[in-house]
């Protein structure tokens, strides 16, 4: 389906890594220690993926009228995920085990729905706009994990 787009293949590969952690978070039989380990492994990977997706992929989509709303919607979903990630990262130590399980279940379902939406809708629409040149350039930027705000068009808001 994504044959020919290096960018989308790379994004999908990162999604598959993220899903491995979600499987543990969504398994009611997971031990609390495994659940916490998965959460703290997921945290940097998801934040890195989301920030680069926003700065490279969503920013590109924002300039295409057919794709702009998907980029805005995706950004808002990332924002809600960020709130839940920070909540657990900051207050996790004070929580009882069942609260951990409840919070990580809600978080994982939200991320799962977001990934599905991107894979089944957003990336398919994005694919229509990519040329060999833009695909290669965007992928190169996305793969640069050191890509920072000052590298983007507008540091505070990469979409404008
Ligand atoms: Fe996303
Ligand atoms: Fe994504």
The 10s digit of each residue's pLDDT in 96-115 is 999 999 999 999 999 999 99
Asked if residues 143 and 137 have their Cβ atoms less than 8 Å apart, the reply is no
Q: How far, rounded to the nearest angstrom, does the alpha carbon of residue 92 sit from its chain's CA centroid? A: 21
Q: What residues make up the domain containing 51?
A: 6-144
Asked if residues 153 and 75 have their Cβ atoms less than 8 Å apart, the reply is no
Q: What value does the mean pLDDT take over residues 80-97? A: 94
The CATH number of the domain where 48 resides is what? 1.20.120.520
More confident residue, 153 or 56: 56
Asked if residues 52 and 146 have their Cβ atoms less than 8 Å apart, the reply is no
Ligand in closest contact with the CA of 71: 1
Asked whether residue 149 carries a pLDDT value surpassing 80, the answer given is no
Q: So what's the pLDDT on residue 148?
A: 53
Q: What are 14-23's pLDDT values in tens digits?
A: 999 999 999 9
Domain membership of residue 151 (yes or no) is no
Q: What value does the mean pLDDT take over residues 23-44? A: 97
Q: What value does the mean pLDDT take over residues 116-127? A: 96
Domain membership of residue 132 (yes or no) is yes
Q: How far is the CA of 74 from the centre of ligand 1 (A)?
A: 6
Domain membership of residue 155 (yes or no) is no
Q: Which of 83, 95, 82, 76 is nearest to 36 (CA)?
A: 95
Percent pLDDT > 70 in the chain is 89
Domain membership of residue 158 (yes or no) is no
Domain membership of residue 1 (yes or no) is no
Return residues with CB closer than 5 A to ligand 1 (ion): 53, 74
Asked if residues 27 and 130 have their Cβ atoms less than 8 Å apart, the reply is no
Number of domains in the chain: 1
Asked whether residue 70 carries a pLDDT value surpassing 60, the answer given is yes
Q: What value does the mean pLDDT take over residues 80-95? A: 94
Q: What value does the mean pLDDT take over residues 31-40? A: 96
Q: How far is the CA of 11 from the centre of ligand 2 (A)?
A: 6
Q: So what's the pLDDT on residue 147?
A: 64
Domain membership of residue 37 (yes or no) is yes
Asked whether residue 153 carries a pLDDT value surpassing 60, the answer given is no
Residues 6+ apart with CB under 8 A from 14: 45, 49
CB atoms within 10 A of CB 118: 21
Domain membership of residue 154 (yes or no) is no
End-to-end CA distance of the chain: 30
Asked if residues 108 and 26 have their Cβ atoms less than 8 Å apart, the reply is yes
Domain membership of residue 159 (yes or no) is no
Using N-to-C axis directions, what is the helix angle for 97-117 and 6-26, rounded to 10°?
150
Q: What value does the mean pLDDT take over residues 21-35? A: 97
Q: How far is the CA of 148 from the centre of ligand 2 (A)?
A: 18
Q: How far is the CA of 151 from the centre of ligand 2 (A)?
A: 20
């Amino acid at each position: 389906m994504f044959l020919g787009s290096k960018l989308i293949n790379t994004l999908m590969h990162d999604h598959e890594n993220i899903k491995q952690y979600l499987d543990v978070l969504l398994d009611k039989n997971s031990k609390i220690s495994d659940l916490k380990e998965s959460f703290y492994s997921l945290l940097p990977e998801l934040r890195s993926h989301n920030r680069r997706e926003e700065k490279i992929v969503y920013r590109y989509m924002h300039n295409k009228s057919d794709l702009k709303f998907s980029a805005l919607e995706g950004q808002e979903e990332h924002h809600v995920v960020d709130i839940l990630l920070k909540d657990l990262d900051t207050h996790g130590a004070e929580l009882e085990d069942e609260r951990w399980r409840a919070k990580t279940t809600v978080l994982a379902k939200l991320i799962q729905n977001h990934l599905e939406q991107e894979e089944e809708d957003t990336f398919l629409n994005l694919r229509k706009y990519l040329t060999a040149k833009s695909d290669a350039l965007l992928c190169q930027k996305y793969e640069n994990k050191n890509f920072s705000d000052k590298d983007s068009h507008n540091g505070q808001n990469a979409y404008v």
